[in-house]
Amino acid sequence: MISAIVTEGNEELRVDTADGLAVLTIDRPQARNAIGLRTMDALEHALDRLAEAPPRALVVRGAGEGAFVSGGDLKELSRIRDEDAAIAMATRMRGLLDRVATFPAPVIAAVNGHALGGGAEVAVAADVRVAAADIRIGFTQVRLGIMPAWGGAERLAELVGRSRALLLVGTGRVLDAPEAERIGLLEIVAPRESFEETWRALAAEFAALPAGSGRAIKEVISAARPNDHPALEGAAVRRFAKLWVAEDHWRAADALAAARSRS
């Protein structure tokens, strides 16, 4: 594949394109592929570039095998301390994932590693999720005293139903890949040794569709079951922001940071 760095001088993210397929890789091994403000910049730039000549299929993945996306980068995002700034951050990332969800081609999340918190929100923004059998996935934001803010709760409800979504988001329960597949959170689970081959084969199938076919099929299905909910954005990010600035959140974040420093 032909690699094109689209991060304006940093190494947050890369896009590889060939034969109608684009593979977008979040590449932050030092932070387990967590998303910070520069990652958002890189993602926005990448989506702008891809929009100029959309591929026939798009894959979103994390670098390595340990993490797909481990959520938001708390070291970076902890500088956000007031509601307006929290609303702005959540609105921006939600908008970027809405662009992934409404991308004019089928989007596959190749879940190469654990997808927790914001990482699960990135995964459900895709149209199809292919995961390695040894990964775990969960909407764990409640453990930090907050809630999904990037559209993930709404997308999860579309995938698994209202009650199951409430159970998963409200408890922060983490699922192994077979259980996530059973409830419809993952579509395909492959053994680790054949994971790369599996997602690439599916992506190649989509990329081989006649020009316009994938886009037309996605538009029809999205009209019946949309994967973005712009009318719900305002209320969701305001609720998130109130939780973000609350003392319970910062106590939980400090406890997590301390636990990580000891490990």
Domain boundaries, the chain: 2-262
144: Cα separation from own chain's centroid: 18
Domain 2-262 bears CATH identifier 3.40.50.10680 = no
Token pair listed for 208: 């081989």
Label the pairing between strands 21-26 and 13-18.
antiparallel
Is residue 131 within 8 A of residue 180, CB to CB? The reply is yes
Between CA 129 and CA 187 the distance in angstroms is 5
Indicate the residue type of 222. S
Indicate the residue type of 48. D
Dihedral class, residue 33 (left if φ above 0, else alpha if ψ from -120 to 50, else beta): left
Token pair listed for 30: 């030092």
Is residue 29 within 8 A of residue 63, CB to CB? The reply is yes
List the chain pLDDT tens, one digit each, 263 residues: 444 433 333 579 999 999 999 999 999 998 999 999 999 999 999 999 999 999 999 999 999 999 999 999 988 999 999 999 999 999 999 999 999 999 999 999 999 999 999 999 999 999 999 999 999 999 999 999 999 999 999 999 999 999 999 999 999 999 999 999 999 999 999 999 999 999 999 999 999 999 899 999 999 999 999 999 999 999 999 999 999 999 999 999 999 888 877 86
